[in-house]
Amino acid sequence: MTPPIEIANSTPGTERMDVSSALDKLCAPALLQMRPDIYALQFDLMKIVPARHILQRALESGALAPGGLVVESSSGTFALGLAIVCANLGLRLSLVTGQLEESLEWRLRHLGAGIEKIFSGKGYMGGIQQKRLDRLSEVMATTPGTFWPRQYDNPEHPAAYAEVAAGVAQALGSVDFLVASVGSGGSISGFARVLRKTNPHLKVIAVDHNLSVLFGPTSGDATPLCRECYEPLLGMGSDIVIPNVDHALCDEVHWVPVAQMIRTIHQIHRESGLLLGPTSGAAYSIAEWIAKTNPGKRVLTILPDNGLRYMKAVYNSEWLTPRADELSRTWTEPVLVNSPTEVGADWAWFPWARRTYPEVLGHGPVSRSTGP
């Protein structure tokens, strides 16, 4: 059970000390008031919520045996969430990953996870995500009795956020805008379904990377920094359209350059001391614009992880200095595009208007090959 959410900075001395497990603590986000009309749900590691929920459901149903083997394709926060949950529940974990950040790899191995790396998806339809999924299928075929959480298409993934979302609704009441980055689709879909129960007019703003195909194939134009950071650094975007992304929930889509993400988390740290990952910067930068252009409306955004794993990159002057020219680029507002296929290297937005993928694009989901 996830502990109840309270708005941060309540009156000192009035809090009741609750006894909870390590998993309870790790699954409990803080609800922060960042600006008069901007609230942020800040997780140390958001993906631990669906990891715990899915594995506990599997143990309860018998789909996963006590002490059994869990397998998954992930190079980011879902991998770490699974590793932490498996360590707490006495389960084994085998991961098919791409490139791993050094501190993340250390944590995964220290928590007992087995790791098989696939470094490139070039020339592979669906990119590195699909190549890893195909390898995972091979592993499962030769290792009977494994359990695959299926983070991309398991309906328990978005359902895992229902209790947290209900706590937010209880704490804040009606929310006018939900702004969230999109990766595997679980959090934005799970929160939107619950929050729309208290406000059917809630506008859901999806935030994506300009090389992602989650909302249709973009032009493929991107700055060098966006290309560099797409796979190893960001917990958002995809080269395949993920089934758990419920497109019909979304009112708008914004595609954000990496430079804007990084400047935003630097701004947040300078003003508040919060150390956040670039994906949080993507969501918060759009939340600020939504609040600015919709005065008096209540905006909720999701900050999915902290910045500890990025200390050798976006918080390191040796990494930042060679990229200073690109990081100095600013965007005051997004460019309105007529179709996701027009999205280029700049901050862009499109009025998705709660339609399905085929209704907007005129065809079913298309994967992208990541090069020759």
List pLDDT tens digits, range 79-131.
999 999 999 999 999 998 877 888 889 999 999 999 988 766 565 555 667 78
What was the pLDDT predicted at 1? Answer: 45
Residue 12's pLDDT band (cuts 50, 70, 90)? very low
Cα(173)–Cα(92) distance, rounded to whole angstroms?
A: 41
Tokens of 251: 């009112």
Q: Does an H or E element contain 178, and which?
A: strand 177-181
Instruction: Answer with the residue of higher pLDDT: 371 or 72.
Output: 72
CB of 293 within 8 A of CB of 312? Answer: no
pLDDT digits (tens, 9 = 90+) for 180-195: 999 889 999 999 999 9
**Average per-residue pLDDT for the chain:** 89
pLDDT surpassing 80 at residue 366: no
pLDDT for the residue 98: 78
| Percentage with pLDDT > 90 across the chain | 72
Q: Is the pLDDT of residue 292 over 60?
A: yes
What six digits make up the tokens of 166? 């209900």
Q: What does the buried/exposed string (b/e) look like for 212-238 if buried means 16 or more CB atoms within 10 Å of the residue's CB?
A: bbbbbbbbeebbebbeebbbebbbbbb
pTM for the model: 0.89
Judged by average pLDDT, the poorest of 9-23, 228-242, 309-323, 345-359 is 9-23
| Confidence band, pLDDT 50/70/90 cuts, at residue 137 | confident
Mean pLDDT of 16-37: 83
Q: Residue 206 pairs with which residues in a beta bridge?
A: 180, 253
What average pLDDT score do residues 261-268 get? 97
Predicted local distance difference test score (pLDDT) of residue 7: 56
- 226 pLDDT above the threshold of 80: yes
Q: Is residue 19 predicted with pLDDT exceeding 50?
A: yes
Structural domains of the chain ordered from first start: 22-46+156-359 (3.40.50.1100), 48-142 (3.40.50.1100)
pLDDT at 10: 39
Interval 191-214 mean pLDDT: 96
**Mean of pLDDT values over 26-33:** 93
Say if residue 54's pLDDT is above 60.
Answer: yes
Query: Percentage of residues in the chain with pLDDT exceeding 70?
Result: 89
The answer, yes or no, to whether residue 3 has pLDDT greater than 80, is: no
pLDDT above 80 for 162:
yes
C-alpha atoms less than 13 angstroms from C-alpha of 21 in its C-beta half-sphere? 10
What confidence tier does 17 reach under pLDDT thresholds 50, 70, 90? low
349-364 pLDDT per residue, tens:
999 999 999 999 999 9
Residues in contact with 225: Cβ distance below 8 Å, sequence separation at least 6, in sequence order: 257, 258, 259, 323, 326, 327
DSSP state at residue 361: H
